[in-house]
Amino acid sequence: MSLTVYRRAHFNAAHRLFKDGWSDEKNYEVFGKCSNPNYHGHNYELEVGVTGDVDPETGFVIDLSLLKAIIKEEVETPFDHKNLNVEVPEFMELNPTVENIAIVIWKKLSERLNEKYQITVKLYETPRNFVVYTG
Ligand code: NI
């Protein structure tokens, strides 16, 4: 019997969306306010889903305290209150769009979780803008 367990997490981070080599005007045209050269912040809301079979012995798909600890180590500690472009190695060369941040989070979590699980990353950049990545 397969189902999905979810854990919510949160981080605040600053970023700037831009393409190197484009003028500030061109970056503004494509990325809008998110291209501000002096950076700005978002309150990111994260939902991580782990799909798998219910263990008949424990009744768990995954121990939520383990999932909580992995999200803290892989996402909250390295990303919270950071400037993603400047302080987080994954985004020094990669534009920190909500799409790319979700993909990076998915990859980091998939390296830590047993490969028997299907992982879903839902990431909100604003209450109305969000992406879902399932690998
Ligand atoms: Ni932004």
pTM to 2 decimal places: 0.95
pLDDT over 90 percentage in the chain? 99
Active site residues: 34, 81, 125
The answer, yes or no, to whether residue 14 has pLDDT greater than 90, is yes
User: Band of the pLDDT at 1, cuts 50, 70, 90?
Assistant: confident
The neighbouring-strand residues paired with 52 are 3
Instruction: For residue 78, give the nearest of 69, 68, 89, 67 by alpha carbon.
Output: 89
Query: Three-state SS for 94?
Result: coil
The answer, yes or no, to whether residue 10 has pLDDT greater than 90, is yes
Q: Which residues contact 49 (CB under 8 A, 6 or more apart)?
A: 4, 5, 6, 119, 120, 121, 122
User: Band of the pLDDT at 4, cuts 50, 70, 90?
Assistant: very high
Instruction: For residue 109, give the nearest of 83, 84, 133, 82 by alpha carbon.
Output: 133
User: Band of the pLDDT at 109, cuts 50, 70, 90?
Assistant: very high
Q: What's the CA gap between 82 and 88, in Å, rounded?
A: 7
Q: What's the CA gap between 112 and 129, in Å, rounded?
A: 27
Q: What's the CA gap between 48 and 113, in Å, rounded?
A: 12
State the Rg of the chain over Cα.
17
Whole-number Å distance, alpha carbon 16 to ligand 1 midpoint, is 6
Whole-number Å distance, alpha carbon 14 to ligand 1 midpoint, is 8
Q: pLDDT tens-digit profile of 81-107?
A: 999 999 999 999 999 999 999 999 999
The pLDDT assigned to 93 comes to 94
Whole-number Å distance, alpha carbon 133 to ligand 1 midpoint, is 19
